[in-house]
């Protein structure tokens, strides 16, 4: 009876420890599986390129979005190690591109703002390489069904990925909306200053015009001979 009682007391702590360990592994896998994320400033008439050496036969994904500047558009193209263009888009606000590499070497992806002569852009991109590793060891080669605890960890992992994607999406939307609000506020301020100057000039003109109506004109002092 004492042994049974000891087992009953010890099992919840062990289960909680195992659940915490598996959930922590799921969390680290969800965070570690993310690729390179970067927000860069792209001046007018400028071009920025990035280089990544990749093995053959792997998948990479490029997601990008213009946060602020101009019409929120940018040119983007990707080249393989042989210099062949595998992706090219012009004046895109956002897009996503996936590709399976066929040759090993340095892949290049560039963002261009060369078509704009005065507007700076802020561009966000997320570059992911490879597939996401399984959160549980030998998960892809298992022949038995997952336990309830393992299924819960897989569900938590998928929900964490969804939360990360949602946070990134809303963070970009918030930055884009803030940029548009600041731009609109600047335009309203300039328009208000312009209206004030116009009203000031019109008021002075009306005062001068009314003053000219009530000004007595003296006759010329030329005398007549008798």
Task: Average the pLDDT over 15-37 and give the result.
Answer: 48
Q: What percent of the chain has pLDDT over 90?
A: 27
Residue 185 has pLDDT above 60, yes or no: yes
This prediction's pTM: 0.60
Task: Average the pLDDT over 44-68 and give the result.
Answer: 90
48: β partners: 111
Cβ atoms within 10 Å of 3's Cβ, excluding its own: 7
80's tokens:
């393989």
Task: Average the pLDDT over 67-84 and give the result.
Answer: 90
Confidence of residue 176 (pLDDT cuts 50, 70, 90): confident
pLDDT value of position 84: 92
140's tokens:
């892809």
Q: Are strands 74-79 and 85-92 parallel, antiparallel or unpaired?
A: antiparallel
- In CATH terms, the fold of domain 37-131 is Jelly Rolls (2.60.120)
Residue 4 has pLDDT above 50, yes or no: no
Confidence of residue 19 (pLDDT cuts 50, 70, 90): very low
Helix, strand or coil, per DSSP, at residue 69: coil
Domain regions of the chain by residue span: 37-131, 152-212
CB-count burial class (<10 Å; 0-12, 13-18, 19+) for 160: middle
pLDDT value of position 200: 93
141's tokens:
């080669």
106's tokens:
């340095």
Mean pLDDT across the chain, nearest whole number? Answer: 77
Task: Average the pLDDT over 34-63 and give the result.
Answer: 87
pLDDT per residue as tens digits for the range 107-155: 999 999 999 888 888 899 989 888 766 666 665 566 566 677 777 777 8
- N- to C-terminal Cα distance for the chain? 150
Cα(214)–Cα(70) distance, rounded to whole angstroms?
Answer: 53
pLDDT value of position 15: 39
């Amino acid at each position: 009876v004492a042994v049974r009682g000891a087992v009953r007391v010890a099992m919840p702590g062990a289960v909680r420890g195992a659940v915490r360990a598996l959930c922590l592994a799921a969390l680290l896998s969800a965070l570690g599986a993310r690729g390179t994320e970067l927000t860069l400033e792209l001046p007018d008439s400028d071009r920025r390129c990035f280089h990544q050496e990749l093995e053959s036969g792997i998948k990479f994904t490029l997601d990008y979005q213009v946060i602020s500047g101009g019409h929120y558009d940018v040119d983007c193209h990707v080249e393989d190690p042989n210099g062949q263009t595998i992706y090219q888009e012009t004046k895109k606000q956002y897009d996503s591109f996936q590709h399976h590499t066929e040759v090993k070497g340095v892949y290049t992806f560039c963002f261009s703002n060369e078509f704009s002569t005065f507007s700076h852009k802020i561009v966000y991109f997320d570059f992911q390489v490879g597939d996401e590793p399984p959160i549980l060891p030998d998960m892809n080669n298992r022949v038995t069904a997952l336990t309830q605890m393992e299924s819960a960890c897989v569900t938590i992992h998928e929900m964490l990925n969804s939360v990360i994607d949602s946070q990134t999406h809303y963070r970009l939307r918030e930055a884009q909306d803030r940029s548009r609000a600041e731009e609109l506020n600047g335009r309203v301020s300039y328009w208000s200053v312009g209206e004030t100057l116009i009203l000031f000039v019109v008021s002075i003109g009306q005062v001068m015009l009314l003053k000219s109506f009530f000004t007595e004109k003296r006759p010329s002092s030329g005398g007549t001979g008798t």
